[in-house]
């Protein structure tokens, strides 16, 4: 009996079923057991690493939110998507060329660091993380690759690991290092994606290369949400006073950054990486 894991090239949907490569009649017990083992033992999709199921502790919390948000196991790209990879997507999908893209989906700075529609040029090495991409473009790339964008909870969960364990908080100096990156100017040309030090899960560049889109970036509340102006009305005041862990200033910066974005914005230091469900349903 053979259980195949979703194959990267063919994958389109996020909830792909296992296919059974033989004539098998199984009891429910065997089925359950096999799936459980497979989830753990499956070969990772190329370039992706498994983030095991666990909790994400939101930095900011409304009164009806859980203190810990459960996050199912998922695959995450080990590094951000690079210019060369994004070029392959643009070649295959002409409507995402710089000269053709709708301004609804990407603003005027879309891929502005490329020489032209299909030429990367000196500002955009093929192995450097792609930036100047909108949320729509990132999402379209992910769908094309048979993946999806990670949710904010997934991304933050992956980024909460240190170098040696699942809790960056437990590693002195880790957060300070993340803050140093915020202070550093955006380089004119980025180094290769994947050159950063891997964290505990084997993921690189989460906190020290580019900002990254998440699928639900537009969850941060603005004035006039259904709770009224109290608490979240003025973002900064509400945010810092409600923060669960004010020491994690880097996470707070990310909350603020995401809330400043619109889906068609493109920014010189904003890229993305992809994710994929690890569990079959």
Total of residues contacting another protein (CB under 8 A): 28
Q: Does 28 bind another protein (CB under 8 A)?
A: no
d(CA 211, CA 258): 9
User: Could you give the 3-state DSSP secondary structure of residue 277?
Assistant: strand
Q: Which stretch binds another protein (CB under 8 A): 106-114, 134-142, 160-168, 198-206?
A: 134-142
Given 65, 167, 245, 279, the residue binding another protein (CB under 8 A): 65
Q: Does 64 bind another protein (CB under 8 A)?
A: yes
Q: Which stretch binds another protein (CB under 8 A): 31-39, 71-79, 102-110, 158-166?
A: 102-110
Residue 37, burial from CB neighbour count under 10 angstroms (0-12, 13-18, 19+): exposed
Look up residue 219 and give its DSSP letter: G
Interface with another protein in residues 207-236 (CB under 8 A): 215-216, 218-227, 232
79/258 with CB nearer another protein: 258
Sign of the Cα pseudo-torsion (198, 215, 67, 35, in order): negative
Give the residue from 245, 232, 77 showing the smallest Cα distance to 155: 77
CB burial of 80-107 (b: ≥16 within 10 Å; e: otherwise) equals: bbbbebbbebbeeeeebbbeebeeebbb
Q: Which stretch binds another protein (CB under 8 A): 36-44, 46-54, 96-104, 171-179?
A: 96-104
Given 136, 155, 174, 211, the residue binding another protein (CB under 8 A): 136
Q: Does 123 bind another protein (CB under 8 A)?
A: no
| Residue 172 C-beta: closest distance to another protein, Å | 33
d(CA 218, CA 251): 16
How many residues are given for the chain? 281
| Residue 124 C-beta: closest distance to another protein, Å | 25
Q: List residues binding another protein (CB under 8 A).
A: 62, 64-66, 102-105, 135-136, 139, 215-216, 218-227, 232, 259, 262-264
């Amino acid at each position: 009996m053979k259980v195949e894991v979703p194959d990267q090239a063919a994958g389109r949907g996020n909830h792909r079923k296992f296919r059974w490569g033989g004539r098998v009649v199984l009891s429910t017990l065997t089925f359950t057991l096999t799936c459980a083992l497979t989830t753990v033992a499956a070969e990772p999709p190329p370039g992706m690493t498994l983030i095991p199921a666990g909790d994400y502790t939101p930095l900011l919390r409304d009164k009806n939110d859980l203190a810990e948000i459960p996050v199912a196991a998922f695959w995450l790209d080990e590094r951000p998507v690079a210019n060369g990879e994004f070029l392959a997507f643009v070649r295959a999908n002409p409507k995402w060329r710089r000269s053709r893209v709708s301004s609804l989906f990407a603003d005027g700075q879309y891929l502005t660091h490329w020489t032209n529609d299909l030429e990367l040029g000196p500002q955009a090495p093929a192995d450097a993380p792609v930036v100047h991409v909108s949320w729509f473009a990132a999402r379209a790339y992910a769908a094309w690759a048979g993946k999806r964008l990670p949710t904010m909870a997934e991304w933050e969960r992956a980024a909460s690991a240190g170098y040696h364990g699942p809790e960056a908080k437990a590693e002195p100096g880790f957060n300070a290092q993340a803050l140093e990156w915020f202070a550093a100017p955006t380089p004119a040309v980025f180094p290769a994606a994947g050159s950063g030090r891997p964290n505990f899960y084997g993921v690189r560049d989460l906190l020290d290369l580019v900002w990254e889109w998440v699928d639900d970036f537009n969850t941060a509340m603005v004035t006039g949400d259904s709770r009224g102006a109290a608490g979240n009305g003025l973002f900064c005041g509400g945010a810092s006073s409600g923060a669960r862990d004010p020491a994690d200033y880097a996470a707070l910066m990310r909350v603020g950054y995401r809330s400043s974005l619109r889906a068609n914005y493109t920014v010189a230091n904003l890229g993305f990486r992809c994710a994929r469900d690890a569990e079959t349903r």
